[in-house]
Amino acid sequence: MAKFHIEGGHKLSGTVTPSGNKNEALPTLMACLLTDDPVTYRRMPKIGDVVTTCDVLADLGVDVTWQADDVLTLCARNAKYKKPNPDLCAKIRASILLLGPMLARFGRVELALPGGDVIGARRIDTHWEGIEALGGTLKLNQSIVGEIKTIKGTDVYLDEPSVTGTENLLLLAVKCQGTAILHNAACEPHVVGLCNLLNAMGAKISGIGSNRLVIEGVKTLKGATHTIGPDFMEVGSFLCLGSMAGGKVTIKDTRPEDMGFVLKTLARLGIVPTIDGLHMTVDGSKPLVMKKDIGGRIGTIYSGPWPAYPTDLMSVAIVAATQSLGTTIFFEKMFEGRMFFTDKLMQMGANIVLCDPHRIVVNGASKLFAARMSSPDVRAGMSLIMAALVAEGTSVIDNIYQVERGYFNIENKLKQLGAKITRED
């Protein structure tokens, strides 16, 4: 497997531009199955998960054409029903997003269980119950097998604001008979992006950006062109990295209105960027100091559904906390495996106490030392890269395909900032 060699301790400065949002790209790709017309995507990140998703769709008969490095056109005119390739589906969590559009297009689906990050149990109950509420029937054996004769317009109450659950139900409900209402829906920026694409294709979705989505069913959808929003996970990662790397890092073409709670939370670690229009600059020469709660109590950073601090940015914030003076509790409420990567930070010298699968205590600032590590998931992999960049010595990070599933061209972006990083295949 490919690996990174990273020589740490070098000051990072310069400008970086985030790629398109991975979590918006994947569900919007699946939307191509809802029309026979071409759908064109701009700012599409050519990351591992996107390439694998395109391979899955191509295996179903979808025409896949890269017009440029970040411009992609899909046309499902010749798509035929078959079971999506199980080996490809096992590589990505996003394969679960085939349930809705395949039921909408073919009235049936057989789908292998999805793969993806190793961060703990990831329920599919929200998908299941929502699809059944819309008129589908599902069975679980070695695969998920489902069919639907009529997509019913009805009220659907999600048992949790699942992002992929909401997206799957949107991809099915747009072709319902009557009106479907999703209650307790996810409202992340990438869900908004999917809604905007579907409306451009002729869907009638209102309440976009809220947790109550109203979908008036339509019989047919058309092609469209859609621009993927900037990946605020990547923006958050570079804010954390820039804050502890000694120089000034500017992140261009962000969307500050999507970053409100992220910026509020990172400020507790001492990370306060300067915002100039769509650009953010963080000064890593300033020491980081953790902010205590009123009365001097140790502060806690929680993850939660949008607009709370996103779980995907917990790992990079934890690395930043190792370089911030003070003590902070991190409480990961969503995934019981998210925190286990911290044993690698402890190996590097970080002062971290793993209280239970959901909570850790970080005491900073700690001097980090190089180590050999392996990436368990996309976000933990990026956090280990960040730790290696500020550590003393040369680190080796194995299993970097996990990082490249979610971060496009990450090696060159880091080199632009002055990082000493090489990739070994």
Provide the H-helix boundaries in 66-124. 86-89, 99-106
CB 18 within 8 A of CB 229: no
Torsion angle, alpha carbons of 7, 11, 14, 20, to 10: 50
Distance, in Å, from the CA atom of 151 to the CA atom of 176, rounded to the nearest integer, reads: 5
Distance, in Å, from the CA atom of 34 to the CA atom of 25, rounded to the nearest integer, reads: 16
Residues 6+ apart with CB under 8 A from 142: 112
94 closest CA partner among 120, 63, 55, 131: 55
Distance, in Å, from the CA atom of 364 to the CA atom of 270, rounded to the nearest integer, reads: 12
Number of Cβ atoms within 10 Å of the Cβ of 374: 17
Cα distances (angstroms) measured from residue 38 to each of 31, 62, 121, 228, 344: 11, 10, 36, 16, 45
DSSP assignment of 260-296: HHHHHHHGGGT---EEETTEEEEETTSPEEPPPPTTS
**E strands, 54-107, where?**
63-68, 71-75
Distance, in Å, from the CA atom of 133 to the CA atom of 112, rounded to the nearest integer, reads: 22
Residues 6+ apart with CB under 8 A from 228: 20, 21, 24, 25, 28, 41, 42, 43, 44, 45, 193
Residue positions annotated with a catalytic role: 117
The greatest distance separating any two alpha carbons of the chain, rounded to the nearest whole angstrom, comes to 65
**E strands, 184-287, where?**
204-206, 212-216, 224-227, 246-251, 274-276, 279-283
Instruction: Please count the CA atoms within 13 angstroms of the CA of 219 that sit on its side-chain side.
Output: 0
